[in-house]
Amino acid sequence: MGEARSQPAPARRQTPPAEDLVALSFEDALAELEEIVKSLEGGKGTLAQAIADYERGASLRRHCEQKLAEAEAKVQAIVDGPAGPTLRDVE
């Protein structure tokens, strides 16, 4: 039998901790999520990296959903305003 040679892991971006999500805009979170999806679809990383990316992706998805819900609440506040289009504090 031949000697097994392991392939070096591809250089990967540093995945910021979930606490950093608060500072991400919707657009930045979505871009990172798209990058993770492409990476997972490519299947070239290690299993450990794929699991870490999947966890990060799940956190990013929740963050994006929260940002969209906040935006929807603001739009609804404008539409439902008694004196026409006004924005009340919904945060």
- Range with the lowest mean pLDDT among 3-17, 40-54, 60-74, 76-90? 3-17
pLDDT in tens, 30-47: 999 999 999 999 998 899
Q: Between these two residues, 11 and 63, which has the higher pLDDT value?
A: 63
What CATH number is attached to the domain comprising 72?
1.10.287.1040
Confidence of residue 12 (pLDDT cuts 50, 70, 90): very low
List, in order, residues 6 or more apart from 32 with CB less than 8 Å away: 24, 56, 60
Assign 53 to helix, strand or coil. Answer: helix
For residue 37, the enclosing domain spans 24-79
Residue 60 lies in a domain: yes
CA 71 to chain centre: 17
pLDDT computed for residue 80 by the predictor: 76
Q: Measuring CA to CA, how many Å separate 18 from each of 5, 8, 23, 73?
A: 34, 27, 10, 24
- Give residue 88's identity as a one-letter amino acid code: R
Helices (H) and strands (E) in the chain, counts: 2, 0
Q: Count up the domains in the chain and report the number.
A: 1
In a domain, 67, yes or no: yes
Q: Is residue 53 part of a domain?
A: yes
